[in-house]
Structure 1
Amino acid sequence: MSHSILLPRTMEIGRDACQKLPVILASLGVKKPLIITDEMMVKLGYVDNIQTILKAAQINADVFSDTVPEPTESSIEAGVSQVKAQDYDGLIALGGGSPIDSAKAIAILGKFGGVIRDYKFPRQVDEAGLPIIAIPTTAGTGSEVTRFTIITDEANNEKLLCVGMGFMPVAAIIDYSLTLSVPPRTTADTGIDAMTHAIEAYISPKRNAYSDQQALAALRLIGPNIQTAYHDGKDETAREAMMLGSTLAGIAFCNSSVALVHGMSRPIGAFFHVPHGLSNAMLLPTITEFGISSAPDRYADCARALGIADHSETDDQANVSLVKYLKSLNDELHVPTLAQFGVQKADFDALINTMCEQAFASGSPNNNPRIPTLEEMVQLYTLLWNDNTVAESSVS
């Protein structure tokens, strides 16, 4: 059986890789790019740095900086309008997952029109929009190497998963020096997001030999370095490992899939505005423990790749270590509970059934080795209010 593998046309990886941006634009025939970013990238001077690099090559680039965390259809409207009104021939997506996801949607809507719901999965969006050069500034989403974007439909409080080759950046610049100023909270959330990508890609039934190798390589980089990057953001060795690990995890799940953690995470973000990586972190220990019985060897491989289990240990021993590690990691990285984040339980309980419906509609839960029933998913959501602990017998 063969598998289709999708990647950006070119990737520039390493410190100061941004200096190669003009060369990459020239190779793609892009002469009038629009930078898609957010206000933080402007304030930190990253946009100025990119424009300086471009001006040295006689390239002028306008800026759209109104993207927001967890992008919505309304947050990208002005960007879509700007693209429609100008003759841009490419987009430079600069920032975390939100600006990159925004750029992906703008690239398609700006060229083909419609509303984002028109492009919702299961539709496969393989039309080529404006070419995107993605420059991530966090080590987590892997959006620079994926064929996915997620945009919230505010009218329905639903995060819409959009899938297809049309959303794959044509180029990615992986410059870890851009992450040196990322604060600890964002470092933790994006780092666990990348870890989740790798684990879910590896345990997914859509996995293949290629995605397996990317996932395990990502975990080998993330496991020994996530705590260091969190506690000492200036540690370049840790930052470089996390950045490459994030990209490899993105390649892994782009060519496999995500699973139950992501399926249940998106509605939490849509309704309660919990950052995506953080909601993944909240769910990961519980969902991992729930699924282990259906793929014990795969989860054990993840534990060994993370460096928390030895190859001499049995799969059962490795999986005990994995669950313990994920819980202790959340403690060390100060991942809050939903209550600590500020979510009211009455509001959460009132929306559980709707969240379950949206989770199943995304298709991601069906990629889990153990697919929950509706009743089991309700219980898994409810467990978020306890201690992130689930015994095999408590959800069955």
Structure 2
Amino acid sequence: MKTVEFNLPTKIEAGNGVFTETGAYLQGAVKGKRIFIVTDPGIEQVGFVAKLEQILKIEGYVTKVFNQVKPNPKDADCIVGGKAALDFRADAILAIGGGSVIDSAKAIAIIKSHGGGPQDYAGRDNVPDGVAPLIVIPTTAGTGAEVTRSSVITDTDRKIKFTIKAVQIAPVLAIVDPELTYKLPPHLTASTGMDALVHAIEAYTCKLSNPIADGLALQAMKHIYPYLRRAVKNGEDQEARYNMMIGSTIAGMAFSHADVASVHCMAEAIGGLYDTPHGVANSMFLPYIVGYNAEVEIEKHATIARTIGIAKESDPDQAAANLLVNEMKQLAEDISIPSFASLSEVKEEDFDYLAESAYNNGSTPSNAREINKKNYLQLFQKAYLDN
């Protein structure tokens, strides 16, 4: 019997149109009026940042925008952002964007409060108290970072990713508005949506799963899977967008209280080396890890198949698990996830390094099935040759 701790320090405001109430929500979440906004050029270009500044100005807030976040957030950019937030004398950090923006904002909040660089706080529980409060407005239905206490940053010198895990960087407030995803292009809807599905599947199947996280993970799957193809096909399908956004947030709660596993280990390996967007990388490897794990962890994979409605209760576990493996590959194809081999930067001579990097990832021990460097190498080769 497992002892379970579940701590969600984030207040969630979720629903269509809640973005317009951001100023009012901040009143009870932070002290002070100086808000340092972290975003990226794309989010700024679509007008979300200007609208946000107008909303906050009405409530008397003073803002400064930092828009230097890149995909797979970089350590150097976080240091620049942390110093800028300190110079601005920010009372709070507000992230508006996808997972890269949110992870950057978490690192910026630490650096603003305690100095140094992101690597100084890598690992679990290495962040001192007194971090600047963080408010998060996600613009993709993918990472669930609005409710997690982790930040994944790229070490640009070593070309690897590292993770900061600490409850101190959990956002104090998440404003989850599906309407912000309506204009997200199909390829980003696809990759971020698969990312959310990965979070739910790995939270449920990993060795650190627990009854509370399991319930959240299964519920997240019910929101994500039936609506992912619809959201990709029609970005303004309100029902699909609502369910994807809510499902992504629930999946974030699930994996942050369990763990991710080998899909993320492989994805972060190629993200560190090739700078591959995280959602795309996760999407590429999900079918292969599901297939690898389902060979031994049959019951849980069969439960997933029944939960998302592709297997019947009467189907034997093995048959249900097989259906899941096939459907994960079909789903990726249907929503035009690019293949691993299609990445122009991929070189077979890198596979040994990638396998080593994946194996050394802190989430490797959490994978449902024991996995070693040789297994990772075989999976990279399989993903490459299958396409």
The interval holding the TM-score normalised by the smaller chain is over 0.9
The percentage of aligned residue pairs carrying the same residue is 36
Q: Is 1:143–2:145 an aligned residue pair?
A: yes
Deviation at 1:75, TM superposition (A): 2.1
Contact 1:33 1:89 in 2 (8 A): yes
Is 2:197 aligned against 1:195? Answer: yes
Shift of 1:142: 0.4
Measure the CA separation in 1 of the matches of 2:38 and 2:142.
Answer: 19
| CA RMSD of superposed structures (Å) | 1.4
Which residue does the alignment assign to 1:77?
79
After the TM superposition, which of the residue ranges 374-383 and 120-129 deviates more from structure 2?
120-129
Is the 1:8–1:169 contact (alpha carbons within 8 Å) kept by the matching residues of 2?
yes
Per the alignment, residue 394 of structure 1 pairs with none
Cα deviation 1:332-386 (Å, max 9, x = unaligned): 11111222121343xxx33323323322322211101112122111111111211
- Give the aligned partner of residue 17 of structure 1: 18
Q: Secondary structure at the match of 1:125?
A: coil
**Aligned residue-pair number:** 385
Give the whole-Å Cα distance in 2 for the aligned partners of 1:86 and 1:50: 18
User: Kindly tell me: are residues 344 and 359 of structure 1, through their superposed partners in 2, closer, same or farther at Cα, counting changes over 3 Å?
Assistant: closer
- Local SS of the residue matching 2:93: strand
Q: Indicate yes or no: 2:23 matched with 1:6.
A: no
Distance in 2 separating the partners of 1:83 and 1:368: 38
Shift of 1:148: 0.8
**Alignment CA distance shift 1:358-1:128 (3 Å):** farther
**Any idea what SS the aligned residue of 1:61 has?**
strand
Unpaired runs of 5+ in structure 2?
Answer: none
Give 1:23's aligned amino acid.
Answer: A
SS in 2 for 1:33: strand
Q: CA, structure 1 residues 46+182, in 2 after alignment: closer, same or farther (shift >3 Å)?
A: same
Distance 2:127 2:370 in 1: 27
Please name the residue that 1:333 is paired with: 335
Query: What's 1:382 paired with?
Result: 381
Deviation of 1:264 (Å): 1.3
Residue 267 of structure 1 is aligned with which of 269, 274, 277?
269
C-alpha separation in 2, matches of 1:277 and 1:42? 21
Q: Which residue pairs with 1:300 in the alignment? A: 302
- Tell me, what secondary structure is at the counterpart of 1:91? strand
Give the Å deviation of 1:126. 5.5
Shift of 1:136: 0.1
Code of the aligned partner of 1:217: Q
Counterpart for residue 44 of structure 1: 46
Question: How far did 1:31 drift?
Answer: 1.8
Structure 1 residue aligned with 2:118, among 116, 119, 124? 116
3-state SS, counterpart of residue 345 of structure 2: coil
Corresponding residue number in structure 2 for 1:364: 363
Deviation at 1:17, TM superposition (A): 0.9
Show structure 1 runs of 5+ residues with no match.
389-396
In structure 1, the residue corresponding to 2:285 is in which secondary structure?
helix
Shift in Å, 1:122: 4.3
C-alpha contact 1:126 1:165 (8 A) present in aligned 2: no
Q: What aligned pairs does 1:45-194 form with structure 2 within 5 A after superposition?
A: 45-125=47-127, 127-194=129-196
What residue is the counterpart of 2:252 in the other structure?
250
Matched-pair contact (CA < 8 Å) for 1:176–1:243 = yes
Equivalent position amino acid for 1:144 in 2: E
1:362 is paired with a residue whose SS is: coil
Q: Evaluate the alpha carbon distance shift between residue 123 and residue 361 of structure 1 in structure 2; reply closer, same or farther with a 3 A threshold.
A: farther
Q: Which residue type is aligned with residue 36 of structure 1?
A: V
Spell out, residue by residue over 1:43-64, the C-alpha distance to the aligned partner (whole angstroms, 9 max, x if none). Answer: 1000011111111212221111
C-alpha distance in 1 between matches for 2:340 and 2:211:
37
The reply on whether 1:277 has 2:279 as its aligned counterpart is yes
Deviation at 1:70, TM superposition (A): 0.9
Amino acid at match of 1:277: G
Q: CA contact under 8 A between 1:6 and 1:254: conserved in structure 2?
A: no
For 1:310 and 1:83, the matched residues in 2 are separated by 53
- For residues 94-122 of structure 1, give each alpha carbon's deviation from its aligned partner in whole angstroms, at most 9, with x where no partner exists: 00001101100000011111121111124
The Cα of 1:76 is off from its aligned counterpart by: 2.2
Give the direction of change, closer, same or farther, for the CA distance of 1:383–1:126 in structure 2 (3 Å limit): farther
Partner of 2:22, secondary structure, is helix
Q: How does 1:346-365 map to 2 (within 5 A)?
A: 349-365=348-364
Q: Secondary structure in 2 aligned to 1:384? A: helix
- 1:147 corresponds to which letter in structure 2? R
Q: Quick check: 1:25–1:31 contact (8 Å CA) kept in 2?
A: no
The aligned counterpart of 1:229 is: 231
Which moves more between the two structures, 150-159 or 53-62? 53-62
Q: CA deviation at 1:201?
A: 0.1
CA–CA distance in structure 1, aligned partners of residues 368 and 219 of structure 2: 21
SS at match of 1:51: helix
Q: Secondary structure at the match of 1:256?
A: coil
Matches of 2:152 and 2:362, distance apart in 1: 14
Q: For residue 393 of structure 1, what is the aligned residue in structure 2?
A: none
Q: Which amino acid aligns with 2:121?
A: Y
TM-superposed deviation, 1:123: 5.0
Does the alignment pair 1:240 with 2:242? Answer: yes
In 2, the alpha carbon distance for the partners of 1:316 and 1:30 equals 57
Could you tell me which residue of structure 1 aligns to residue 326 of structure 2?
324
Q: CA deviation at 1:330?
A: 1.1
Runs of 4+ in 1 over 6 A off after TM superposition: none
Distance 1:381 1:127, change over 3 A: farther
**Aligned equivalents of 2:280, 2:244: Cα separation in 1:** 17
Preserved CA contact (<8 Å) 2:189 2:231: yes
Q: What amino acid sits opposite 1:87 in the alignment?
A: R
Give CA-to-partner distance per residue, 1:178-233, whole Å, 9 cap, x none: 00000000000000000000000000121111101110000001111000000000
